[in-house]
Amino acid sequence: MTPDMAINICRKAVQTVLLCAAPMLLAGMIVGLMVSIFQAATQINEQTLTFVPKIVAVFITLLIFAPWFIRILIAFTLGVFDTLSTL
């Protein structure tokens, strides 16, 4: 395996991780922003109020996007196996 091939596999791995994590991070960020606006408007500063809705939003997003994640991860894994089989 050449260094270029290793770098290419690592680059694709990082891209795959970012692509799979993006929907959950975006959902957590949006819910966190809404909770922050609610807390600023009502002046309630409870720590669990920020944590629990974000966790719920991330889990719901994970359930919704799970088939898409699996397809992306299978495509990446098959690509890695194809690359390794040509060595």
Total number of domains in the chain: 1
Residue 40 inside a domain? The answer is: yes
Residue 66 inside a domain? The answer is: yes
Residue 36 inside a domain? The answer is: yes
pLDDT tens track, the chain, 87 positions: 788 989 999 999 999 999 999 999 999 999 999 999 998 898 888 878 889 999 999 999 999 999 999 999 999 999 999 988 888
Residue 25 inside a domain? The answer is: yes
Degrees (nearest 5) of the Cα angle 69, 21, 15?
Answer: 85
**Residue 27 burial (C-beta neighbours within 10 Å; 0-12, 13-18, 19+):** buried
> Alpha-carbon distance 81 to 9, whole Å?
11
Which tokens belong to 78? 């098959």
Residue 71 inside a domain? The answer is: yes
Residue 23 inside a domain? The answer is: yes
Residue 59 inside a domain? The answer is: yes
What is the domain range of residue 62? 17-85
